[in-house]
Amino acid sequence: MLQIACPYCGVRDEEEFRYGGESHVARPGPEASDAAWADYLYNRTNPKGVQRERWLHAYGCGRWFNMARDTITHEVLAVYRMGEPAPDLPGRVR
Amino acid sequence: MKRYSFLTLLGGALTGQRSWRPAWRDPEPRASYDVVIVGAGGHGLATAYYLASKHGIRRVAVLEKGWLGGGNTGRNTQVTRSNYFWPQSAAFYDHSLRLYENLSRELDFNVMLSQRGILTLAHSEHELEGLRRWANAIQINGVDSELVSRAEIARLVPLLNLDGRFPVHGGFIQRRGGISRHDAVAWGYARAADALGVDILQQCEVQGFRRQGNRIVGVETSRGDIAAGSVVLCVAAHTSVLAAKLGLRLPISSMALQAMVSEPVKPCLDTIVLSPVVHVYVSQSDRGELVIGGGADVYASYAQRGGLPVLHANLTALLELFPVFSRLRLMRQWAGTVDITPDTTPIMGRTPFDNLYINCGWGTGGYKAIPAGGDTMAHTIATGEPHPLIRDFGLERFERGALIDEGAAAGVAH
């Protein structure tokens, strides 16, 4: 069971949240090629190690936020609000 | 290859079982191979076997960072079925099921296929309508499936609670669906491929690729560099990790899919029961254990272990359907790391690199695809052209928008 610290509500159990996939995926403009559009829609970094990802506090405040989490250990390394830059995690990014 | 038979068994019995030899060699890596297959799971081993047996390509190595069959091949719930909605999927998976039906004879290795039928339940009239559409589509695809009434289900599965929180309204069954022994599939392909000259190199991790322009000329491994004519990635959820070494991005998310078994009991369930709504499926193994599975865990993971919330959801769903199982103890629980694609259809075939092929994206359903996956990949590598059965499964479908959305047909929602 993950313990996730919602930046608005504090620490809650994993079951209150919904996972929203990789974060910081930038939507290309209307001039984007088919390849760039497919990359945006479907391709993911899918890292083995630290991933920055979106979560929704579905059964809480109902707000989205970002999280840095290790996909091997499941350790939550940082939680930050939408729009905030991803924090540096020196020594952690594999 | 020494053939297995009743006589070899009898001969062994008369000589204290001292005549058995290892089923495959443990060779040293050669400097180069025509084809290097990364990953000695079912798909990698089957690809090697069909390359050697059907196409005469025998300078083949299968590289495995752990032990063969130790990843998802040894962690799944052993279900084989071909009840898919879309014609491309049905044709592919039915080819696989037909290969499974003859696999014990072909490999001279008993994979213990038991075609006991897979029963999918509907818990409302609307869902029954959906299943009727699905079952009709399967029939039009030329695959067996039949609707079964509530009364028939009661006869078929006497222990099933038809009047739980979500009452059973009916369902459909694919009678050719079944279970087999996953270790035997890996071992059978390994032994048959090895006998044809394929080198299976265990404890040999691929750490990088050697490139010349757009060609991959070799792999760097923990046991030294190996030159390769072609390279095939059959590494499921780690495909993203290896592809990233080449700057290649893929539409794959790696998640944990867990399964569990109960303590063994006498035979009480002779079909596979699957409920998409409460989201669980169960069968009974030859050893008497109930084999239980459900949906994947909800977040990205390479941990090969599942979380407690999903375990709890699987078991409460099982006990809703089979209250009598509440007295059983759980014996083991584990997870595999599965490679989920946006349309839950695999990715097979060529890549932007000239001689690099991929076979991945099986998500929660790669086991049933092993024979056809190997057969069609071998054809693709040997001829340079995608096998007709996997022409629509290529990586380029995402750019073209030609997705094959099997999310519904996978039986359980992902």
* pLDDT tens, position by position, B72-116: 999 999 999 999 999 999 999 999 999 999 999 999 999 999 999
Q: Do the Cβ atoms of A44 and B244 come within 8 Å? A: no
Q: What is the CA radius of gyration of chain B?
A: 21
B29: pLDDT strictly greater than 70: yes
Report the C-alpha gap between B18 and B10 in whole angstroms.
12
In whole numbers, what is the pLDDT of chain B averaged over residues? 95
A7: pLDDT strictly greater than 90: yes
Q: What are phi and psi of A91, to 5 degrees?
A: 80, -5
- Reported confidence tier of residue B309, pLDDT bands at 50, 70, 90: very high
Percent of chain B with pLDDT over 70: 98
Are A88 and A45 contacting, i.e. CB atoms less than 8 angstroms apart? no
> Which of helix, strand or coil describes residue B291?
strand
Closest CB from A18, A44, A72 relative to B252: A44
- Reported confidence tier of residue A89, pLDDT bands at 50, 70, 90: confident
- Reported confidence tier of residue B414, pLDDT bands at 50, 70, 90: very low
> Which of helix, strand or coil describes residue B282?
strand
- Tell how strand B280-284 and strand B215-221 pair up: unpaired
**DSSP summary character for residue B94:** H
Using a CB-CB distance cutoff of 8 angstroms, which residues of chain A are in contact with residue B238? Answer: 48
Report the C-alpha gap between A25 and B284 in whole angstroms.
44
Q: For residues A10 and A94, which has the higher predicted lDDT (pLDDT)?
A: A10
A22: pLDDT strictly greater than 90: yes
- Reported confidence tier of residue A94, pLDDT bands at 50, 70, 90: very low
The predicted structure's pLDDT at residue A86 = 86
Q: What confidence tens digit (pLDDT) does each residue in B215-239 have? A: 999 999 999 999 999 999 999 999 9
Closest CA–CA distance from residue B306 to any residue of chain A (Å): 10
The predicted structure's pLDDT at residue A87 = 87
User: How would you classify residue B203: left for phi > 0, otherwise alpha for psi between -120 and 50, otherwise beta?
Assistant: left
Among the listed ranges B172-186, B288-302, B399-413, which one has the minimum average pLDDT value? B399-413
Q: What is the CA radius of gyration of chain A?
A: 14
Whether chain B has a CB inside 8 Å of the CB on A45: the answer is yes
Cα–Cα nearest to B357, from B399, B395, B402:
B395
The predicted structure's pLDDT at residue B411 = 53
What would the mean pLDDT of A14-42 be, rounded to a whole number?
96
Q: Do the Cβ atoms of B252 and A46 come within 8 Å? A: yes
Q: Which amino acid type is present at position B105?
A: R
Identify the residue among A42, A56, A69, A77 best suited for mutation to test binding to B, counting B beta carbons within 10 A and taking the highest: A42
Which residue on chain A is closest to B298 by alpha carbon? Answer: A19
- Reported confidence tier of residue B406, pLDDT bands at 50, 70, 90: confident
Question: pTM for the whole thing?
Answer: 0.96
B96 burial (CB, 10 Å; 0-12 / 13-18 / 19+) is buried
Q: Do the Cβ atoms of A44 and B302 come within 8 Å? A: no
- Reported confidence tier of residue B409, pLDDT bands at 50, 70, 90: low
What's the gap between Cα B129 and its chain centre? 29
Report the C-alpha gap between B64 and B199 in whole angstroms.
11
Identify the residue among B246, B298, B302, B404 best suited for mutation to test binding to A, counting A beta carbons within 10 A and taking the highest: B302
Q: Do the Cβ atoms of B400 and A2 come within 8 Å? A: no
Identify the residue among A18, A46, A50 best suited for mutation to test binding to B, counting B beta carbons within 10 A and taking the highest: A46
